[in-house]
Amino acid sequence: MINSEQLTHYVFAVRTAILANEADIECLDRDIGDGDHYINMKRGCEAIAGLGETLTKLPLVDALNSIGMKLLSTIGGASGPLFASFFIGMSKTLKVNAPDSAMHIAAAFDAGVQAIMQRGKAQAGEKTMLDVLIPVAEQFNSLAAQGKSTQEIAVILKQVASEGLESTRSMLATKGRASGLGERVIGHLDAGAKSCQVMIHAVCDQVLNDPSNQPSP
């Protein structure tokens, strides 16, 4: 279903998408954060891009773990431990279940999201990246269990990610740096949720464009 070479393509697609969304992400973080989120995301993306070819030569679980460890020692801030926990969590789960079905990949994604929740002691509804990631993980599990095609899953998950991002607009922040601002955050989208929406869209678009995922004629 997925190998290290595809993972590397996803990583490069994520980097391109984050760089393309600089203005949006930075603007959101300036409104209710402290202005370092985009810089940190960019630094993380560049560090992973720097791993480049070495990732493709590793088994998938080791490639995911390497990404996690690299992010942990590169990003700093809240994003570093959170995204590192995501990749390390995915790696651990795929070590148990080989990535030979959409269900196993969905389970690994879910484990990654659970690792973020544990590290950040956060849940849905707190105006964070989890308001994108949790519904995406839930839908991914459910769509995979229903036997939906990779293409169908990618299309729906893009939609779920966008809805999750939009849901942060009306929320109070109770985690992260925006949590000190009380009602002043209402009406603003969360920058971390925006980054995650951008990344999920990038990966899903890559999946939709990948000829190996096209239904056979």
Partner 1 sequence: MKKFLNHVDHMLTESLSGFAAAHHDLVELQLEPTFIARKHKAQNKVALISGGGSGHEPLHAGYVGKGMLDAACPGQVFTSPTPDQMLAAAEAVHAGQGVLFIVKNYAGDVMNFEMAAEMLPFAHATVLTADDCAVVNSTYTTGRRGVAGTVIVEKCVGSLAESGADLASCKALGDKINQRTSSIGVALTSCTVPAAGRPTFDISDSEIEMGVGIHGEPGRRREPIRDADAIIADMVAAIVHDFAAKQLPTQGNILLLVNGLGATPLMELYLIYNTAAKLLTAQGFQITRSLVGNYTTAIDMAGASLTVCLLDDEIQQHWDSPVHTVGLRWGC
Q: Which residues here bind partner 1, judged by CB under 8 A? A: 26, 30, 32-36, 38-40, 43, 72-82, 119-120, 174-182, 184
Residue 88's nearest CA partner among 67, 110, 104, 105 is: 67
CB 88 within 8 A of CB 62: no
Q: Which is nearer to partner 1, 118 or 142 (CB)?
A: 118
Q: Which is nearer to partner 1, 6 or 74 (CB)?
A: 74
CB of 3 to partner 1, least distance (A): 29
CB 28 within 8 A of CB 185: no
Tokens of 211: 């000829």
CB of 132 to partner 1, least distance (A): 17
Question: How many angstroms separate the CA atoms of 174 and 184, rounded?
Answer: 12
CA 56 to chain centre: 20
CB of 187 to partner 1, least distance (A): 13
Q: Which is nearer to partner 1, 118 or 146 (CB)?
A: 118
Question: How many angstroms separate the CA atoms of 56 and 103, rounded?
Answer: 23
CB of 39 to partner 1, least distance (A): 5
Q: Which is nearer to partner 1, 104 or 175 (CB)?
A: 175
Work out the number of other CB atoms within 10 angstroms of the CB of residue 98: 11
Q: Which is nearer to partner 1, 40 or 139 (CB)?
A: 40
CB of 24 to partner 1, least distance (A): 14
